[in-house]
Amino acid sequence: MSASELECFTEVAAEFELPDTHCLHVGLSIVAPAIREHGTSEQKAYWLRRLWRGESIGCQLFSEPDAGSDLASVRTTAVRDGDQWTITGQKVWSSGAHISDVGLLLARSDADRSSRHKGLSMFLIDMSDPGVTVRPLKQINGNSRFNEVFVEGVSVSDDRLIGGEGNGWSVARTSLNSERDGMAVSDTLFANPLERLIELAREVGGSQRPEIRQRIADVYSRSVISNWMMAGTSAAAGKLYSTDTSNRLCSLAVELAGIAGVTDSGDRNRYCWSEMLLAIPSLRIAGGTDEIMRNLVGERELGLPREPR
Ligand SMILES: Cc1cc2nc3c(=O)[nH]c(=O)nc-3n(C[C@H](O)[C@H](O)[C@H](O)COP(=O)(O)OP(=O)(O)OC[C@H]3O[C@@H](n4cnc5c(N)ncnc54)[C@H](O)[C@@H]3O)c2cc1C
């Protein structure tokens, strides 16, 4: 499936109430695009079909305790021996790793740390390998959707190397851009959030209040603009704008829901907004923090001087 075919499918699918595909999100929007862009024809034929059909669930193993925003400083090592690689290290914040079959892992394949970006390679590892230990982390909203992942002497062959040796940074950038593109308001909240906001406003009588009508119009306009930005060239600016819009949308909904927005009354379309609102701070971090997005906009789009390093 090409990127434009996927976009068409997403647009049509948004009109239907389909089963929740949240568990497939990382595989579809982060792992698959990397393979589609950088994989060999054999890798594409084997992995894309499995990921798109939901036969394999994928996770992203990039961040480490000392490598988040500065991703190029990853310390996980991949050591070559013939056509086999041995991978050792620790990853963190790995969304869905506890339910994944396969992990897209960024590792340092060149021991010479001065080569930074050029010394990185990308691999697909089996999450069921005995050398992989996954430890879930508890979040502020009670969920445990991301994990620490310990990788100890995991052996993979060359056919699990994506994009070739030393090309890991380029593969990572493809994944990260695709991740940011997938952070539009409708992708990060539940299905049809604007329709549900309007429904809620009608139910609680808010749709008659001029101030509420203005705020609904504001989030509607912002959602449309953020979709345009995502579809254009600026994933970084689009992510910043979309996160802010999601925050405005959820804040308004929780305000309208009143007490049922913070204590679960069992009523439909009420308490769910509170969980979404609590997830907004994580959107400001995942896929690159707000500060890093501003740096990217400044340096790459506005041509401002690079930040001192
Ligand atoms: C919900 C969620 C899901 C995630 N899922 C995954 C996943 O599946 N796989 C994965 O690999 N990672 C995942 N992450 C991790 C995410 O990519 C990192 O948290 C993010 O890149 C930031 O890295 P860090 O947490 O190490 O923070 P740090 O990089 O340590 O940053 C700390 C603070 O310093 C600021 N800062 C850092 N550098 C600069 C700079 N140069 N200029 C200005 N400010 C700066 C940051 O903006 C931030 O406020 C996830 C994170 C979240 C919140």
Q: Is the pLDDT of residue 38 over 80?
A: yes
Distance 179 CA to ligand 1 centre (A): 14
Judge contact between 124 and 87, C-beta under 8 A: no
Ligand 1 neighbourhood includes 204 CB (under 6 angstroms): no
How many C-beta neighbours within 10 Å does residue 66 have? 11
Per DSSP bridges, beta strands 146-157 and 84-95 are antiparallel
At 21, is the pLDDT very low, low, confident or very high (cuts 50, 70, 90)?
confident
Q: Which CATH architecture has domain 186-301?
A: Up-down Bundle (1.20)
pLDDT tens-place string over residues 127-168:
999 999 999 999 877 788 889 999 999 999 999 999 999 999
Nearest CA to 46 out of 35, 38, 57, 34 is that of 35
Question: What class does CATH assign to 18-165?
Answer: mainly beta
At 78, is the pLDDT very low, low, confident or very high (cuts 50, 70, 90)?
very high
End-to-end CA distance of the chain: 40
Sorted by where each begins, the domain ranges of the chain are: 18-165, 186-301
Atom of ligand 1 nearest to the CA of 295: 42
Distance 165 CA to ligand 1 centre (A): 25
**Catalytic position from the list 11, 15, 148, 179:** 179
Give the global pTM: 0.89
Ligand 1 neighbourhood includes 282 CB (under 6 angstroms): yes
Q: When comparing pLDDT for 155 and 226, which is higher?
A: 155
Ligand 1 neighbourhood includes 226 CB (under 6 angstroms): no
Lowest mean pLDDT among 74-78, 82-86, 237-241, 263-267: 263-267
pLDDT tens-place string over residues 171-181:
999 999 888 87
Q: Is the pLDDT of residue 232 over 80?
A: no
Distance 41 CA to ligand 1 centre (A): 33
Residue 211 is among the residues annotated as catalytic for this protein:
no
Nearest CA to 278 out of 244, 242, 251 is that of 251
At 9, is the pLDDT very low, low, confident or very high (cuts 50, 70, 90)?
confident
Ligand 1 neighbourhood includes 90 CB (under 6 angstroms): no
At residue 2, the pLDDT reads: 62
pLDDT tens-place string over residues 89-127:
999 999 999 999 999 999 999 977 677 899 999 999 999
Core vs surface per residue 280-291: b (16+ CB within 10 A) or e: bebbbebbbeee
Atom of ligand 1 nearest to the CA of 285: 53
DSSP 253-268: HHHHHGGGGTS--S-T
Decide: residue 195, CB within 10 A, 0-12 exposed, 13-18 middle, 19+ buried. Answer: exposed
Query: What is residue 152's three-state secondary structure?
Result: strand
Using CA atoms, how far apart are residues 226 and 222, in angstroms rounded to an integer? Answer: 6
At residue 174, the pLDDT reads: 95
Q: Is the pLDDT of residue 30 over 70?
A: yes
At 299, is the pLDDT very low, low, confident or very high (cuts 50, 70, 90)?
very high
Average pLDDT over the chain reads 91
Ligand 1 neighbourhood includes 288 CB (under 6 angstroms): yes
How many C-beta neighbours within 10 Å does residue 115 have? 14
At residue 34, the pLDDT reads: 97
pLDDT tens-place string over residues 171-211:
999 999 888 877 776 667 777 889 999 999 999 998 899 99
